[in-house]
Amino acid sequence: MLGRLGRWLRALGFDAHYDQALTDRELVRLADAEGRVLLTRDRHLLRELRPRRALEVVHDDPLLQLRSVVDGLSLAPPRELFTRCLVCNAPLADVGPADAAALLPPKARALPGPVRRCPGCGRVYWPGSHARRMRGALESALPGWLRVPDPPDPPDPPDPPDPSRPPP
């Protein structure tokens, strides 16, 4: 089962479909039809059903699985975390400040950052302590990968004119 890996991939903003009710044949058919990479621990599935694009997941720990997927597929870091619902995979919609106040617990209303809601299942996401802990776990599992490079230094300003020299 790779459900927890799917949640971590969604936290990074990747479209990660997961449905444990599908048979192996249905999984392969869906992955092939949608151009997805099938992530699996099932060697039999890889050997017998031969999905077009697949990656065998060998680790038990979800964060080690995530690292192997990021490395194995050469995934680029996201511009932003938490843009998909961790449960149903739908892209999250931003919630305006007036609507956010009614959706958030009182202590979370003053937190900076975006408030988002899943249009599929209605779950609400905000940058609280849970999101900070998840980001910390991601940074530990993928050291240096999430970092956005520093912008280049601005050019040095031109030297001021020398008052002792006459203008040209």
The residue-averaged pLDDT of 55-74 equals 97
Strand extents, DSSP E, the chain: 38-40, 54-56, 93-94, 116-117, 124-125
Full-model pTM: 0.82
Q: Which of 29, 38, 76 is nearest to 57 (CA)?
A: 38
pLDDT given at position 166: 65
Mind listing the pLDDT tens digit for each residue in 89-147? 999 999 998 899 999 998 888 888 899 999 999 999 999 999 999 999 999 999 999 86
DSSP three-state, residue 114: coil
pLDDT given at position 149: 44
pLDDT given at position 151: 45
Is residue 83 within 8 Å of residue 91, measured between CB atoms?
Answer: yes
How many CA atoms, within 13 angstroms, populate the side-chain half-sphere of residue 77?
14
Q: Which of 104, 109, 108, 114 is nearest to 80 (CA)?
A: 114
Q: Which of 36, 118, 47 is nearest to 84 (CA)?
A: 118
Report which of residues 31 and 152 the model is more confident about. 31
pLDDT above 70 (res 155): no
